[in-house]
Each structure stands twice: as structure tokens, then as C-alpha cells.
């Protein structure tokens, strides 16, 4: 009879150890996936992202089970159990958010969210070991362990969310708002960041494509003039510009007048389709919101439209779509001036 508790304890310890080993392996896989999540092509990266989210979910389910075993068979004060109930799911959600941030292809990549999938499981495993192993409980008190580990989990649980919200705002931003975001970021660059941007420009081969040079021609960039000068020497810039505009590339559409290209029928058609599609996207779905906050996006491609109309392009469909978009907003002096501007351009359009 006296061996029964020992046998039960042995089974529980074996189960705890096996689960902990599996959890550690899954944790290592999650971290490895997070490190390499953008290292493949678009399809491979999407697959890595999906696997990453599934691994995080499985990892935190196992972590929860391990902590439950530690709390049941070890020693964990009630307040620590309550904190674990809140912070383990919260840190799991934050780890999913961190994986989401790390998976995003962006012109502003960041690596620090990697600390969340590294440290959050580590803190939870440390908590489980402290609760289960009597020798470890003698090293540090519950108050010290709780303050350290739960404090860390609390910080990690909130860390990635502001960045994820910012990225969501950037993805929703229209081209005008996105340009303003870029300008605001550039204004805060350190000398080191400016030097790094200059080094990236100087690393481009002179014969490289328009795709390589155009990101450095952002309005307000100190490298804009150098980038545009290089672009205007590219022998294939006309064809590449037409391809990029046809694909809806925002920078190419914006910079048509600066690229040293001709107003060919192919370019006119590509711009007409792209601007028409843009106008339909910026038109409000319901209500009549104020026009001034939206003007930056509604009018974003107007320099290109005006440049092409002056060179004989038929952009009547695009002008009609822009007029319809503007009229969907509430009446305002800015809106009326824009509508008049469109009317003037339509009078210049070939019939």
C-alpha cells in the first residue's frame, strides 16, 4: 500500500518530463520558424506563417498542460495560479501577434518581436519547473519568482500589439497617407539610418531595373534627385514603367512625369485603368464623409493625370471616376475646387 503514492508520483513525474521535452522541442521549432519566416518566396513565406501560427497554438496548449500538472502535483500559491490563468493565454496571443509581424513583407522590417516567442515560453517553463521541483522552490520565494516571471509575461503580452496596429494602419492607408507616413518616418531618421539608405542606393548597379531605383525616388527623400537621374538613363524605363503602372505600382503611377518616359498609347491605357480603379477604391461606401481628410488620397495621381492629358492622352474614364468619387463626399470648398480642376482637364481631353 505504501508504494502507491510513490508509483503515482513516478507516473506524474514521467508524464511531466515527457510533456516538458515535447514542449521544448516545439518551442525550438517555433523560434526557428520565426527566424526564417521571410526567407522564402511568397508561397513559402505564407506556408511558414500558417505553420508558425499552428505551432504557437500547440505550444501554448502544451505549456498550459505542463503548468497545470506543476500546480496540481507541485506547489503554487493561489495568486500565482490566477495570474497564470490570465497571462499564459495573453502571452500566447502576443506570440501569435509577434509571428504575424515577423511574417509581414514590409519596407520597415523589425526583428525585436522575436523576443516574444523566445522569452514567453521560457518564462512559463521556468514557472512550471519552479512549482514542480522542490529544490528549485528553495532557491527563490514565490513572491520573487512571481514578480519576475509574471512581470516579464505581462510586458511580453502587450509588446507586439502597438506595432501590429501600426502595420494594420499602414496596410489600410491610401497612397497619399502612406506617403505622409513615410515622410514622417524619414524626418526622424538618425544619421546612421541616412548613411545606410545612401549605402543601399550606391550598391545598385547602374543598369539595374526601374524596380530597383524607384524606391529611392520617394518625394522628400534626399536621394530622390540621384535616383531619378539614374532612372532617366535606363534604356528600358518606358517598357518597365508601363508594366509597373499596369500592375498598379503606386510609386510608378505617381512618378510617371519624372521618369523621362513618353505618353505612349500603352502608358495612357495603363494609367487610365489604374486611376479609374483607384478612384473607385477611395469613393466612400456609405454616407458623405468630409472631403479634406480624403483629398490627399483622392488627388494623389493628379500630377500624372494632368501631365498625360497635356500630352494628348484620353483619360476621360479616369476623370469621370475621380469626379464621381469626389462628389460622394460632403460639400466643401476643397471638393468644389477639385471638381473644377477635373472639369478643366476634361475640356482638354481629346474627343
The b-or-e profile of 279-316 (16+ CB within 10 A means b, else e) is beebbeeeeeeebeebbbbbbbbbebbbebbeeebbbe
CA-closest candidate to residue 233, choices 197, 253, 261, 268? 261
Q: What is the pLDDT of residue 206?
A: 84
Torsion of CA 338, 340, 341, 345, to 10 degrees: 140
CA-closest candidate to residue 185, choices 218, 229, 140? 218
Q: What is the DSSP string of 223-263?
A: THHHHHHHHTT-TTHHHHHHHHHHTT-HHHHHHGGGTT---
188: which 3 cell numbers? 526622424
199: which 3 cell numbers? 549605402
Q: How much is the mean pLDDT over the chain?
A: 90
Is the pTM for the entire model greater than 0.85? Answer: no
288: which 3 cell numbers? 458623405
| 226 vs 232: CA distance, rounded Å | 10
Question: pLDDT per residue over 164-209, tens digit each?
Answer: 888 888 777 778 887 888 888 888 888 888 888 899 999 999 888 9
| 194 vs 180: CA distance, rounded Å | 18
Q: What is the mean pLDDT of residues 16-23?
A: 93
| 27 vs 107: CA distance, rounded Å | 29
Please say if the pLDDT value at position 1 is more than 50.
no
- Residue 229: partners with Cβ closer than 8 Å, 6 or more residues away: none
What are the C-alpha distances in Å from 115 to residues 23, 118, 146, 165, 333? 18, 5, 20, 18, 50
Please say if the pLDDT value at position 139 is more than 70.
yes
Question: pLDDT per residue over 76-101, tens digit each?
Answer: 999 999 999 999 999 999 999 999 99
**Residue 5: band (very low, low, confident or very high) from pLDDT cuts 50, 70, 90:** low
- Residue 24: partners with Cβ closer than 8 Å, 6 or more residues away: 125
> For residue 118, how many other CB atoms are within 10 A of its CB?
17
Burial degree of 51 (CB within 10 A; 0-12, 13-18, 19+): middle
- Residue 267: partners with Cβ closer than 8 Å, 6 or more residues away: 238, 241, 242, 245, 256, 261, 308, 313
Amino acid at each position: 500500500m505504501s508504494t502507491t503514492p510513490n508509483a503515482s508520483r513516478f507516473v506524474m513525474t514521467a508524464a511531466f518530463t515527457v510533456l516538458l521535452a515535447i514542449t521544448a522541442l516545439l518551442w525550438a521549432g517555433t523560434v526557428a520558424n520565426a527566424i526564417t519566416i521571410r526567407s522564402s518566396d511568397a508561397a513559402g513565406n505564407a506556408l511558414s506563417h500558417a505553420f508558425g501560427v499552428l505551432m504557437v497554438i500547440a505550444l501554448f496548449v502544451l505549456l498550459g498542460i505542463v503548468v497545470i500538472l506543476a500546480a496540481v502535483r507541485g506547489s503554487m500559491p493561489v495568486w500565482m495560479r490566477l495570474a497564470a490563468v490570465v497571462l499564459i493565454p495573453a502571452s500566447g496571443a502576443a506570440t501569435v501577434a509577434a509571428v504575424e509581424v515577423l511574417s509581414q513583407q514590409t519596407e520597415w522590417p523589425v526583428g525585436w518581436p522575436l523576443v516574444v516567442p523566445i522569452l514567453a515560453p521560457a518564462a512559463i517553463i521556468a514557472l512550471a519547473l519552479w512549482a514542480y521541483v522542490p529544490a528549485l522552490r528553495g532557491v527563490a520565494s514565490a513572491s520573487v519568482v512571481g514578480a519576475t516571471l509574471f512581470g516579464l509575461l505581462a510586458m511580453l503580452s502587450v509588446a507586439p500589439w502597438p506595432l501590429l496596429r501600426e502595420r494594420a494602419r499602414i496596410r489600410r492607408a491610401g497612397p497619399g497617407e502612406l506617403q505622409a507616413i513615410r515622410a514622417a518616418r524619414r524626418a526622424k531618421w538618425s544619421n546612421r539610418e541616412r548613411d545606410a539608405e545612401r549605402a543601399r542606393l550606391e550598391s545598385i548597379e547602374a543598369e539595374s531595373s526601374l524596380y530597383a531605383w524607384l524606391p529611392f525616388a520617394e518625394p522628400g527623400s534626399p536621394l530622390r534627385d540621384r535616383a531619378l537621374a539614374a532612372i532617366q538613363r535606363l534604356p528600358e524605363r518606358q517598357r518597365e514603367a508601363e508594366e509597373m503602372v499596369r500592375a498598379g505600382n503606386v510609386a510608378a503611377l505617381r512618378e510617371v512625369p519624372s521618369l523621362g518616359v513618353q505618353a505612349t498609347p500603352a502608358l495612357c491605357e495603363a494609367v487610365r485603368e489604374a486611376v479609374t480603379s483607384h478612384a473607385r477604391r477611395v469613393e466612400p461606401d456609405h454616407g458623405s464623409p468630409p472631403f479634406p481628410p480624403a483629398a490627399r488620397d483622392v488627388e494623389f495621381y493628379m500630377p500624372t493625370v494632368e501631365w498625360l492629358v497635356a500630352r494628348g492622352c484620353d483619360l476621360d474614364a479616369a476623370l469621370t471616376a475621380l469626379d464621381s468619387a469626389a462628389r460622394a463626399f460632403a460639400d466643401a470648398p476643397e471638393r468644389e475646387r477639385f471638381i473644377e480642376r477635373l472639369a478643366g482637364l476634361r475640356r482638354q481631353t481629346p474627343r
